[in-house]
Amino acid sequence: MKRSLSTLLLVAVIGALPLALTSCGTIDQNASLTKKSNYKRVSGSRINHMALKGATKSNTRVVVDIADQKAFLLVNGKIAATSPVSTARAGKRTPRGTFSISQKVRSGKISTIYKVEMPYWMRLSGTVFGLHAGYLPGYPASAGCIRMPASMARLFYDHTSYGTRVSIYSSWSGG
């Protein structure tokens, strides 16, 4: 039985979908930015605008809680923003420990493994791991990076700099 070219193309796209959705750098298409606040509210995201106003390059840090699948942007020790994240899926590992942001790429960063974009890339201490915008299915699903909704990745990107400390915990009691 012959299949049309469009049917074969559809089968190929559907077959590739699971790989795209589980990659470290798949983009969250639903987290576009709004004009009103510059940051779209994504379910589970919170922004404390008063704390965020005080952010400088020297007083911010990031904390990632693997157990709760959340990232926190702290300004002077206060939580200025909370974001849902997706960390490593079964069989992969998101590293624990304290790192610093050693590279920032707003756009154009492509995963060498999965060949997908990773906007708002923030590399952790020269490792292959980083924080970036990506697809969040509601559970750990990355190859090891920390995926965030695009709006929150942008907020974290805009309020951190080279050298910003990033602490990744299996479970964090400070949030």
- Does the pLDDT of residue 162 top 90, yes or no? yes
Give pLDDT tens digits for 115-152: 888 999 999 999 999 999 999 999 999 999 999 999 99
What's the chain's length in residues? 175
* DSSP 8-class letter at 39: S
- Does the pLDDT of residue 37 top 60, yes or no? no
Residue type, 35: K
Share of the chain above pLDDT 70, in %: 75
Q: Tell me the torsion sign for CA atoms 71, 121, 106, 29.
A: negative
Give pLDDT tens digits for 55-68: 998 899 999 999 99
33-37, 42-46, 53-57: which is most confident: 53-57
- Please provide residue 12's backbone torsions phi and psi, each rounded to the nearest 5 degrees: -65, -45
Average pLDDT of the segment spanning 28-33: 35
Look at residues 29, 21, 39, 13 and name the one whose alpha carbon lies nearest to residue 153.
39
Per-residue pLDDT at 67 = 96
Least confident of 28-32, 49-53, 156-160: 28-32
Buried b (16+ CB within 10 A) or exposed e, 5-22: eeeeeeeeeeeeeeeeeb
Token pair belonging to 170:
């299996």
Edge-first strand order for the sheet with 97-105 is 46-47, 78-84, 70-75, 60-65, 165-169, 97-105, 121-124, 130-133, 146-148
The torsion defined by the Cα of 162, 166, 117 and 46, in degrees rounded to 10, comes to -110
- Does the pLDDT of residue 38 top 70, yes or no? no
Supply the pTM of this predicted model.
Answer: 0.77
- Does the pLDDT of residue 10 top 50, yes or no? no
Strands 60-65 and 70-75: antiparallel
Query: CB under 8 Å to 86, separation ≥6 — which residues?
Result: 69, 134, 135, 136, 137, 138, 139, 140, 141, 142, 146, 147
In CATH, what number does 5-169 get?
2.40.440.10
Q: Domain locations in the chain?
A: 5-169
Share of the chain above pLDDT 90, in %: 66
Burial class of residue 123 (count of CB atoms within 10 Å of its CB; 0-12, 13-18, 19+): buried
